[in-house]
Amino acid sequence: MKKDILYIVVPCFNEQEVLPITTPQLLEVLSLLCRENLIDEHSRILYVDDGSTDDTWELINRHCREHDQVCGVKLAGNVGHQNALVAGMTVARERADIIVTIDADLQDDVSVIGQMVERYRQGCDIVYGVRRERKSDTWFKRNTALAFYRLMQRLGVKSVYNHADYRLMSRRAVNQLLQYRERNLFLRGIVPLVGYRSEKVYYDRGERLAGESKYPLGKMMSFAVDGITSFSIKPVRMVLTLGVVFTLIALVMLAYVLVAYFGGRTVSGWSSLILSLWFIGGCVLIGLGIVGEYIGKIYIEVKDRPRYNIEQEVIH
C-alpha cells in the first residue's frame, strides 16, 4: 500500500524559547510513525514564521539545516495565527497527502498524531483533536473559553466543542477548505462546513512548554468577536427584535403621555421621558455598533487583499 506523506504545520510567532523543545518532539513523532509504516519518509515538519520579531526564523533555519525533515516558510509580516495556518496549509498541500496543524508550544499532546493518522487511514478526511480537560489553563482562560464555546453554539455556529486548531486534514479537505476565500478567518467554524467524514480524538491539554501566550486578552476578544460575526447574523436579528419591542413601549408611552396631557399633569412626566430618551439613545447606538461590525466586514471582504505574502521558503 502506498504510504502517505504527512506535513505537520506549526505557526510560530516569537517562539524562540519553545522551538528548541518542539523540534525534537515532533521529529520523534515523525520517526515513530515512519517506523510503524504509517507515513512516508518524505513527511515533514513545516514551520510558518508569522512575522516574528525575535530569533524564531534563525532558529527555524538552523533546524532546517540540521534535519532534513524540517522545512520553514517565513511570512513577510504578522498576519495572525489563522492566516499563518492558511499559509502553511497552502504550501503543504502541494506535497502532502495529510496535513496536521498544531501550535508551536505543544500544549496539545503530540502523541495523538498517530491516532489521527490511523483514523485517516480508516477513511476520515478530518480528525479533530479535542481537549478532555483544561486543568493546566488558568481559571480565567478556561472559563472565558468555555463561555465562548457555549455562546457560539447558542448563536448557531457549528463548531467542535473544546477543539482548537489541532487537527488532521486530508489533502482534499484542505483543498476544499481553501475554497472559502473570506478574509475574516475563523477556521474552527469553517472546517465543519467542509463536511467530509470527520472524527475526534481526545487528549489532555498540557502547559505551554516555554515562552508566553501569544493570545493576550485583547487578541482573544477580537478572535471571539470575529468568530461570532463571521458566522452568525443573530446579533443583528436581536437588534431588530429589540427595535420592535421599543416601538411597542413607545406606543404605550404615547398613550400615557396623552392621558397625562389631558389630565394636566405634563410636568411630572418629564423625568420619565428624559430617562427613556437616554435609554433608547443608548440602545440605538448599540444597534449601530453591531451593524457597523458587519459593514466593517463587508468593507474588508470587498478589498479582497491577499492574506499573506511569503518572503522566503526552505523546502527540501
Interface region with Mg ion, contact rule CB under 5 A, candidates 47-55, 103-111, 157-165, 271-279: 103-111
- Give Cα separations from 140 to 32, 45, 81, 146, 216 (angstroms): 37, 32, 21, 10, 12
Instruction: Tell me: does residue 26 bind ligand UDP (CB under 6 A).
Output: no
Mention every residue, 6+ apart, whose C-beta is less than 8 A from residue 32.
Answer: 114
Interface region with Mg ion, contact rule CB under 5 A, candidates 11-19, 29-37, 97-105, 276-284: 97-105
Question: Residue 27 in 3-state DSSP?
Answer: helix
**Which partner, ligand UDP, Mg ion, none, binds residue 117 by CB below 5 to 8 Å per kind?**
none
Question: Residue 96 in 3-state DSSP?
Answer: coil
In this structure, the strands spanning 310-314 and 70-75 are antiparallel
C-beta of 24: minimal distance to ligand UDP in Å? Answer: 17
Options 17, 49, 50, 105; binder of Mg ion; rule CB under 5 A: 105
Which grid coordinates belong to 252?
404605550
CA 281 from centroid of its chain's CA atoms? 34
Instruction: Tell me: does residue 78 bind ligand UDP (CB under 6 A).
Output: yes
Residue 50 or residue 105: which is nearer to Mg ion going by CB? 105
CA distance 67 to 85: 22
**Which parts of 91-150 interact with ligand UDP (CB under 6 A)?**
103-105, 107
Residue 11 or residue 287: which is nearer to ligand UDP going by CB? 11
C-beta of 177: minimal distance to ligand UDP in Å? Answer: 18
CA distance 69 to 7: 10
CA distance 209 to 26: 13
CA distance 61 to 194: 34
**Which parts of 30-59 interact with Mg ion (CB under 5 A)?**
none
Options 168, 214, 229, 239; binder of ligand UDP; rule CB under 6 A: 214
Options 6, 8, 9, 15; binder of ligand UDP; rule CB under 6 A: 15
Which residues form the interface with ligand UDP (CB under 6 A)? 11-13, 15, 50, 78, 80-81, 84, 103-105, 107, 213-215
